[in-house]
Structure 1
């Protein structure tokens, strides 16, 4: 949603660079990489994105207020 709102260009064939890239759906990789390049998305520890986990309140707050 963030990538669309910012009208970021994203590649359909993108690779995210996260250690768990293989579990990230292909349709989402371009948007994840585009927002990661801008520092909007950092992922979690150990260079993992954890696409199937829920964001905590703290993670959401830090993301929107930094």
Structure 2
């Protein structure tokens, strides 16, 4: 699995962090998403898919 982000579209809602806290975080100054692990382990795939699904700005792309 590989994750990519379009941070220019991020609105800072933080839903990704709630869904997959080991993979995503937010910048303190503006809440924009930060990718902690570009290639997380397979057991986190469900959480990463959930994060992509709940992102209101659709900035998360998951390649399997």
TM-score, structure 2 normalization: 0.29
Structure number with higher relative contact order (C-alpha < 8 Å, ≥ 6 residues apart):
2
Greater strand percent: which structure? Answer: 2
Structure number, greater radius of gyration: 1
TM-score, structure 1 normalization: 0.28
